Structure 1
Amino acid sequence: MKTLAATVPAARWRWLAVAALLAAACYAPFQLAPFHVFQLTMVLVYAVALLGLDLLVGHAGQISLGHGAFFAVGAYATAIMLDRLALPYPLTLPLAAGTAFVLGLAFGVPAVRLRGLYLALVTLAVAIFLGPLLKRFEAVTGGSMGLTLAKPQPPAWSGLAEDQWLYLLTLVVAVAAFLVAGSLLRSRAGRALHAVRDDEVAAEVMGVRLSSYKTLAFAWSAMFAGVAGCLYTWVIGFVSPDSFTVNLSITLLAGLVVGGLGSMSGPVLGALFVMFVPGIAQDINDAAPGVIFGLLIIAVMYVAPTGLAGLAGRLVKKVPRKE
């Protein structure tokens, strides 16, 4: 068995690494060009979305090909509240999260009766029909043209540029989302989700109510997607049905698997993959970027079958430590 002296330094190094990453994240917008700041902002947005998907897939063991639909719900809820109701920006964040949570809860009730490929097909259907549904209610959603909105402006006293302000806002919300998710996973509910994922029969014997926790997993996952959708609307200032096609849901799931299921670093690594790899694939071959993107996913999964987070963990373990 490992001694306490051997395990404590490892935990301390993890906290030091997190602190160093946060310090670098706070420093980055003041050193990078506006376009690169925007890219990092979108990485944070996708990280929050993947955090919710990881709760459902990585920690609860449920499959979803419709996560982009809840992302779109958060984005459109925010856009409608800003454009049609003229609500203040801070109020749109909890309302978008709440809207997505309620819809996730409503979807989770019938979804708990399904599993495997059947559940995957039902969630995929949600992602498919959402786009045409948004186009039908043109008076509210703007139809195919979407909605254009003003972005949150930095306070005059801050001296920040718009891109820096949006980045720091998104960073604060993303850090809060990860803290909430971490607290949830360390609680009794988190242990119940892991029990459901590992063995449903054993979990039920131990007193875990499968239907309740599966439904809550969908609701919590949708809530984080709604937060990410709200941040997306703040950052982009525009929403349209074409921004939330079924490809978004598939890309999010692929990014999570590549980043690593069931880890707090997996959503961040997956967000980097989602943000930058499609552009790299486009640069390699303009004619068939999808083919290149797929080959890059295969290459990464061959090198890191448990995701980039798992690969990083194995590399860290190989570093010699003093006993």
Structure 2
Amino acid sequence: MSAVEEVANEAPAVEAVPKRAMTLGYGTSLVVLGLLIIAPMFLKNFFVFQMTMLLIYALAVLALNILTGGSGQFSLGQSAFYAVGAYTSAILMEHMGVNYALTLPIAGIICFGFGFLFGQPALRLSGIYLALATFALAVAMPQLLKLGFFEHWTGGVQGLVVTKPDAPFGLPISQDRWLYYFTLVISIGIYIASVNLLRSRSGRAFMAIRDNEIAASAMGVDVALYKTLAFGVSAGITGVAGGLGAIAVQFVAPDGYTITLAISLFLGMVVGGVGWLPGSIVGSAFIIFVPNIAEHISKGLSGAVFGVLLFIVIFLVPHGARQVAIVAQQMLGKLKK
């Protein structure tokens, strides 16, 4: 018996992911969806804009969760894919007059190809070395966007101003509210597609590679294909999030997509719970609102306050929002009994 066969025999079989392991219950999902639909009706435009950014960053965190929580590959380069998606939408809208809705699938396809191609050389890397390679990508991207060769399209250091779309068909709602509901529909669609992906044969292949790459290969999983596919899917979703971000912020510039954004997205994934897709919105809320809370506590020491708050959260709930959800579910089960 070969060494590979021995590993395959010793490794436990990868079970199909149970529904509740990656989604909320139907009742809880309906409550959350109802709140997301109703809340903007009673908020001012600035808070509606913040909720739009909450959904956009949640998409980017979800994409990273598919890559890391699904296939076990670490990435600190999501800001690069986010930037490519943002610039794709901005360039198509401002230079070519393409409708903002049509720019999003184009941004997703371009970023999917970019991520898939980047995943090819990254196959030789794993763990911390893969993280360093993606870190290099995130550091290089803002500098590449400043090059004079691309300046006609990207605006160089000055960036591009993007026109915010009006509500279609003469609907009597503000631009911010329309863009929020537009983003909400896209987010729900991508979320459902992501859940179905992880439940599918490809999703089980991702998780088999995550748990034991050698055993997965011995069981017939095409490791190279599925690892690059995970990179491509993650980059594609991040690209759509970047396009939505460009439309919402109405501006793209190289300095808006630095390594800080990549680290923030990684932090959001950890706080939301690695491998738990509903936690993406919790992680997004953390990286958007907690820095503001820290600044209100102390403007001069906002970074230190944020670090302390982050340390407290990680210390109390090391598995993120998923751990809180499990405890709440157990307590609810006891109350029912």
- Normalising by the smaller structure, the TM-score range is over 0.9
CA contact (8 A) 2:23 2:277 kept: no
- Pairwise mapping of residues 32-181 of structure 1 onto structure 2 (< 5 A)? 32-136=43-147, 137-181=150-194
Instruction: Give TM-score, length-normalised by structure 1.
Output: 0.94
Say whether residues 1:210 and 2:206 are aligned partners: no
Between the two proteins, the alignment pairs up a number of residues equal to: 317
Aligned to 2:196: 183
* CA 12–114 in structure 1, closer or farther in 2 if over 3 Å, else same: closer
- Comparing 222-231 and 295-304, the one that deviates more: 295-304
Q: CA RMSD in A?
A: 2.0
Percent identity reads 43
CA contact (8 A) 2:272 2:320 kept: yes
Structure 1: gaps spanning 5 or more residues: 1-6
Aligned to 1:29: 40
Say whether residues 1:256 and 2:269 are aligned partners: yes
* CA 80–195 in structure 1, closer or farther in 2 if over 3 Å, else same: same
CA contact (8 A) 2:23 2:195 kept: no
Q: Could you give the per-residue CA deviations for residues 163-204 of structure 1, whole angstroms, max 9, x where no partner exists?
A: 110100000000011011011011000001111111111111
Take 2:158 and 2:293, find their aligned partners in 1: how far apart are those partners? 29
Say whether residues 1:14 and 2:22 are aligned partners: no
* CA 90–202 in structure 1, closer or farther in 2 if over 3 Å, else same: same
Q: Displacement of 1:155 after TM fit?
A: 2.2
Instruction: State the 4+ residue runs in structure 1 displaced beyond 4 angstroms.
Output: none
CA contact (8 A) 1:73 1:226 kept: yes
Say whether residues 1:226 and 2:258 are aligned partners: no
Q: Could you give the per-residue CA deviations for residues 262-293 of structure 1, whole angstroms, max 9, x where no partner exists?
A: 01211111111111111112222222322222
Instruction: Give TM-score, length-normalised by structure 2.
Output: 0.90
Q: Could you give the per-residue CA deviations for residues 126-162 of structure 1, whole angstroms, max 9, x where no partner exists?
A: 0001111101121110011100011111125321111
Take 1:284 and 1:242, find their aligned partners in 2: how far apart are those partners? 27
* CA 116–147 in structure 1, closer or farther in 2 if over 3 Å, else same: same
Take 2:206 and 2:19, find their aligned partners in 1: how far apart are those partners? 27
Q: Could you give the per-residue CA deviations for residues 20-79 of structure 1, whole angstroms, max 9, x where no partner exists?
A: 111111111111111111111100000111111000011111100111110111000101
Equivalent position SS for 2:146: helix
Structure 2 residue identity aligned to 1:310:
Q
